[in-house]
């Protein structure tokens, strides 16, 4: 296990790589009762072309798949939505997608382990159907339209588009209405199986130890 300490800010992080390949980082906070956890994967909006292990030709997916996948991970086969389950436990949960990673997180002062069971379960148990994928398209397209009406977001995207000619960092993490409508469950499963491997993920826990 690797321990990194900073005497200036009086913080330390303990880092270990488990046998399953998952990197775990623990940050002790013994002066607070709040607990925080984040589970992330190296899969973002720039990762729309990738090489699957054992294949010679690259796989190309529509823009916005990482963000779409983030939306769909909460829906479970038993009909429950894991965000609702976590909220019922008094846990503040959320998720986000950036250019280079997707992350799921929650914070709480109690019910940490009950929430952890649900948290780890839904992230490792994807459930996509033709019906729930089609339903999500309308929700995400509405979200894209909402952000296109935000002057600050438009200014940010236009600045990226001006600064970067070829770099995929200029892409909107949500994609476009056209790219979103071309996503299906097969694409989601392909991306999940390729990027949501524990060896490509990191778990960070901040709490008393």
Residue 193, domain CATH = 3.30.830.10
Residue 117, Cβ density class (10 Å: 0-12 exposed, 13-18 middle, ≥19 buried): exposed
Domain range enclosing 143: 2-207
Q: Which two tokens stand for residue 58?
A: 């690259």
How many separate domains does the chain show? 1
Give the per-residue pLDDT at 116.
Answer: 95
Spatial distance between the Cα atoms of 37 and 207, rounded to a whole number of angstroms: 9
| All residues at 6 or more sequence positions from 47 whose CB lies less than 8 Å from its CB, including other chains | 66, 100, 195
What are the pLDDT tens digits along the chain (209 aa)?
Answer: 899 998 898 899 999 999 999 999 999 998 888 999 999 999 999 999 998 888 889 999 999 999 999 999 999 998 889 999 999 999 999 999 999 999 999 999 999 999 999 999 999 999 999 999 999 999 999 999 999 889 999 999 999 999 998 899 999 999 999 999 999 999 999 999 999 999 999 999 999 87
Q: What is the pLDDT of residue 132?
A: 94
Question: Hey, what are 109's tokens?
Answer: 């002062």
Distance between first and last Cα of the chain: 16
Element (DSSP H or E) covering residue 6:
strand 2-6
Under a CB-based contact definition with an 8 Å cutoff, are residues 114 and 35 in contact?
Answer: no
56 DSSP assignment: S
Nearest to 175 by CA among 191, 196, 163: 191
How many helices (H) and strands (E) the chain has is answered by 7, 9
Q: How buried is 42 (Cβ within 10 angstroms: 0-12 exposed, 13-18 middle, 19+ buried)?
A: middle
Residue 45 near residue 66 (C-beta atoms within 8 A): yes
DSSP 8-state class, residue 75:
B
Tell me which residues are annotated as active site.
Answer: 70
Locate 157 and state its tokens.
Answer: 């995207």
Residue 30 confidence (pLDDT)? 83
- What is the reported pTM? 0.91
């Amino acid at each position: 296990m690797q321990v990194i300490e900073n005497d200036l800010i009086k913080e330390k992080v303990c880092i270990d790589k488990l046998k399953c390949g998952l990197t775990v980082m623990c940050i002790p906070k013994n002066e607070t009762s709040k607990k925080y956890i984040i589970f992330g994967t190296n899969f973002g909006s720039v990762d729309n072309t990738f090489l699957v292990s054992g294949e010679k030709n690259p796989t190309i997916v529509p823009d916005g798949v990482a963000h779409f996948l983030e939306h769909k991970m909460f829906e479970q086969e038993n009909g429950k939505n894991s965000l609702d389950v976590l909220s019922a436990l008094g846990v503040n949960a959320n998720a986000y997608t950036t250019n280079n990673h997707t992350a799921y997180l929650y914070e709480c002062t109690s019910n940490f382990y009950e929430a952890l069971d649900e948290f780890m379960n839904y992230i490792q148990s994807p459930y996509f159907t033709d019906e729930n994928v089609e339903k999500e398209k309308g929700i995400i397209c509405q979200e894209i339209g909402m952000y296109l009406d935000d002057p600050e977001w438009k200014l940010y995207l236009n600045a990226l588009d001006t600064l970067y000619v070829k770099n995929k960092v200029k892409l909107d993490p949500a994609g476009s209405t056209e790219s979103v409508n071309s996503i299906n469950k097969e694409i989601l499963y392909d991306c999940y199986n390729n990027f949501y491997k524990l060896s490509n993920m990191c778990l960070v826990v901040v709490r008393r130890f």
